[in-house]
Amino acid sequence: MRFLLTAIAILVLAGCASFDGHGLAPGTSAAQVESVMGPAADKRVHGGETWLYYPRQPYGMVNYVARFDADGRLISIEQRLTDENVAKIERGKWRADDVRDLLGPPYRVWPFPRMQRDIWDYRMMTAAAGSTPQALYIQLSPDGIVREVYIMNDPDNRLSECCGR
């Protein structure tokens, strides 16, 4: 029994350690990054770099991108769901690919055919909201142009129901 509990504790700690790629240094190979962080949810190429996306949605409220040089060596790992990145999104100018490049894949995509919109749903934390989880909604028209960007308290946040927030 003691062995089983120890094994479970080790697996839990190993899972937590790899959640954000902590400990991976620049120059690490893509194979090593994948062995620590798991398989990427998306892969994109940007001007000689390859970006691998590791969303930790909805409960992690982060999306990481691991950036690799042309030789497949890690440049950096960045958390993309930040206030600064959301502020860069320009309504009427940005396209769906621009948002996906910047933030990574959404947690959910909600089709609203009568509105002629798809709404991309991300879960994140913001500086203004403190410890209250937020929902980021990005409305895209059929031509793939960003039409609206909303941040509001996460409607799925169970903490507010139990703890009076």
pLDDT in tens, 2-50: 554 444 444 444 444 457 788 899 999 999 999 999 999 999 999 999 9
Q: What is the pTM of this model?
A: 0.81
- Residue 41 phi/psi, 5-degree rounding, is -85, -25
Q: Which tokens hold the place of 69?
A: 């040089």
Q: Which of 64, 144, 50, 63 shows the shortest CA–CA distance to 98?
A: 144
Q: Three-state SS for 32?
A: helix
List domains and CATH numbers for the chain.
2-79 (3.30.1450.10), 83-163 (3.30.1450.10)
Q: Is 39 exposed, middle or buried (0-12, 13-18, 19+ CB in 10 A)?
A: exposed
Task: Give the pLDDT of residue 159.
Answer: 52
